[in-house]
Amino acid sequence: MLVGHQTWMFKNKPTIISTGTVGGPFEANGRIANDIDILHDDMWIKQDSFEKAQRTMMEEACQIALKKTDVEKEQVQFFISGDLINQITPSTFTGKTLDIPYFGLFSACATSMESLALASSIINAGGANYILSGTSSHNAAAERQFRYPTEYGGQKPPTAQWTVTGAGCALLANKGNGPVVTSATIGKVVDMGITDPFNMGGAMAPAAVNTIEAHFRDRNIDPSYYDLIITGDLGHIGREVSLDLINERGLVIPEEQYVDCGLTIYREDQPVLSGGSGTACSAVVTYGHFLNRMKEGEINKMLVVATGALHSPLSIQQNDSIPCIAHAVSIESGRDIS
Confidence at residue 183, expressed as pLDDT on a 0 to 100 scale: 98
Helix then strand then coil, in percent of the chain rounded to 5, is: 40, 25, 35
Q: What is the pTM of this model?
A: 0.95
Confidence at residue 315, expressed as pLDDT on a 0 to 100 scale: 86
Question: 296 with 231, same domain?
Answer: yes
Question: 132 with 162, same domain?
Answer: yes
Confidence at residue 338, expressed as pLDDT on a 0 to 100 scale: 45
Question: 126 with 274, same domain?
Answer: no
Question: 16 with 139, same domain?
Answer: yes
3-state SS class at 30:
coil
Domain of 73 in residue numbering reads as 2-173
Choose one of 134, 155, 173: the last residue of a domain: 173
Q: What is the pLDDT of residues 243-288, one digit of tens each?
A: 999 999 989 999 999 999 999 999 999 999 999 999 999 999 999 9
Confidence at residue 150, expressed as pLDDT on a 0 to 100 scale: 64
The CA distance from 150 to 141, in Å, is: 9
Q: What is the pLDDT of residues 49-94, one digit of tens each?
A: 999 999 999 999 999 999 999 999 999 999 999 999 999 999 999 9
Confidence at residue 147, expressed as pLDDT on a 0 to 100 scale: 66
Choose one of 110, 142, 173: the last residue of a domain: 173
Choose one of 123, 154, 173: the last residue of a domain: 173
The CA distance from 40 to 251, in Å, is: 41
Question: 150 with 208, same domain?
Answer: no
Q: Are 27 and 38 in contact (CB under 8 A)?
A: no
Residue 46: is it exposed, middle or buried by C-beta count within 10 angstroms (0-12/13-18/19+)? exposed
Question: 11 with 121, same domain?
Answer: yes
What separation in angstroms does the CA of 328 have from each of 172, 207, 274, 306?
17, 11, 22, 6
Confidence at residue 319, expressed as pLDDT on a 0 to 100 scale: 84
Question: 86 with 196, same domain?
Answer: no
Confidence at residue 274, expressed as pLDDT on a 0 to 100 scale: 93
In a domain, 125, yes or no: yes
Handedness of CA 285, 286, 290, 296 (dihedral sign): negative
Of the candidates 190, 184, 229, which has an alpha carbon nearest to the alpha carbon of residue 207?
190
Question: 23 with 150, same domain?
Answer: yes
Question: 81 with 187, same domain?
Answer: no
Of the candidates 94, 55, 98, 95, which has an alpha carbon nearest to the alpha carbon of residue 73?
98
Confidence at residue 198, expressed as pLDDT on a 0 to 100 scale: 85
> What's the CATH number where 144 sits?
3.40.47.40
Confidence at residue 314, expressed as pLDDT on a 0 to 100 scale: 84
Confidence at residue 144, expressed as pLDDT on a 0 to 100 scale: 76
Question: 194 with 61, same domain?
Answer: no
In a domain, 75, yes or no: yes
In the predicted model, residues of the chain with pLDDT beneath 70 are: 147-153, 335-338
Question: 168 with 74, same domain?
Answer: yes
In a domain, 337, yes or no: no
Question: 142 with 195, same domain?
Answer: no
How many domains, in total, are found in the chain?
2
Q: Are 58 and 134 in contact (CB under 8 A)?
A: yes
In a domain, 223, yes or no: yes
In a domain, 338, yes or no: no
In a domain, 299, yes or no: yes
